[in-house]
Amino acid sequence: MASPTPETSTAVEFDLFSSLQYSPTLKSSPENTAICGKPCPYYMLDYHRDRVLQAAHNFGWQEAVTVLEASNSLDLIQEKCFDAVDGVLGTVEDRDAVAVRLRIVISPSGALTAEANLISQVPLTSLFPTSLTPPESLTPWSVYLDTIPTPPTDLTRYKTTSRTHYNDSRVRTSINSFFETKEVILWNPEGWVMEGSITNVYFYREEKGGWITPSTPMDDFTGQGKGKGGTAGTVRRWLIEKGMVRVGDLKKSEVRVGEVVWLSNGVKGLVLGKIVSV
C-alpha cells in the first residue's frame, strides 16, 4: 500500500486503478483499433495503461512504473482482464450480447489485478461519438453542484482507491447508488469546477470556442501546473485529441441551472446531463 505524499496530509493508504469496459463489439470499432493498435475488445485500453502509469510516476512508485513501462505491460493487463471477464461470463450463453465493467488495480509494489462485473451494452455511438450536438432522443442525467468545496490533492488529480471525497459528495446530494442516473460536480475552495464524482464534465461555452473541460495535470506539459483538481480521464483525452473538446476552466458561479452538459468515463463513454441544482 502507498505511503502518503506531500499532497496527502494524512496517512492514507491506497492503490491506483482505472475502470473500463469490455465488449466484443469494440473489436469492430476503427477508433478503438487506432488507440490499441489492433482490434481490441477493451475500451481505450492503452489510454488506461497510460493514465495509471502517469499516476505511478507522480507518486514515485518505481516498482509499479517498471511493470507499466515494460514492453509486455499491455499483454499483462489484457491477461488479467481476460481472466476476470471469463470469470463473470462463465455461464453466459451469448457472450457477444453482454458487456463487462472492468477495474484494473495496481499496488505500489507493482501487483496488478482486475475485477469484473456484468453491465448492459453501451452503443458504439456513445463510446465514440462523431459529434457532441446533444440529441433530442436522450434523457439526460440529473446533475448537481456539490454543496461544499473539495480541496484538491493528488488523491483528486489521480485515480486512486482512496475515494472518500467523492463518496461524501454523492451523499451530500442524495445519490445513493451507481445505478441512479445522477451525478454531482465537485469544485475547489477557489470556486473552480473540477469534475464529477465518477465522470469528467464538459460545458458548452461559445465564447471559449465550444465544448470545454476543466484543466488537469495532464494539460500542463511543463510539469509545473496541477490543473483545477480533477483527473484526466481516458474519454476526455480522446475528445481533446479529436478536437471535439478543448481545455477551459470555469467557476461554479458560471454554471447555470437548466444547461446541458456532457459527462464521460471509461465504462459508459459519453452521457448527456442537465444541471438541476447549483
Name the grid cell of 84.
Answer: 476476470
pLDDT averaged over every residue in the chain: 93
Backbone angles phi, psi at 211, to 5 degrees: -80, 130
Q: Decide if pLDDT at 83 tops 60.
A: yes
Band the pLDDT of 220: cuts 50, 70, 90.
Answer: low
Q: How far apart are CA 60 and CA 153, in angstroms?
A: 15
pLDDT attached to residue 222: 45
> Which residue has 488495480 as its cell numbers?
105
85-127 pLDDT per residue, tens: 999 998 888 877 889 999 999 999 999 999 999 999 999 999 9
Residue 138 pLDDT greater than 70, yes or no: yes
- The residue ranges of every structural domain in the chain are 16-121, 141-277
CATH number of the 141-277 domain = 3.20.10.10
Average pLDDT over residues 271-278: 96
- DSSP letters for 77-121: HHHHHHHHHHHHSTT-S-GGG-EEEEEEEE-TT--EEEEEEEE--
Q: Is the pLDDT confidence value at 155 over 80?
A: yes
Which residues lie below 8 Å from residue 124, measured CB to CB, with a gap of 6+? 25, 26, 28, 29
At residue 225, the pLDDT reads: 67
Angstrom distance (rounded) from CA 40 to CA 81: 12
pTM > 0.75: yes or no: yes
Q: How many Cβ atoms from other residues are within 10 Å of residue 243's Cβ?
A: 8
SS3 166: helix
Give the HSE-up count for residue 49: Cα atoms under 13 Å, Cβ half-sphere: 22
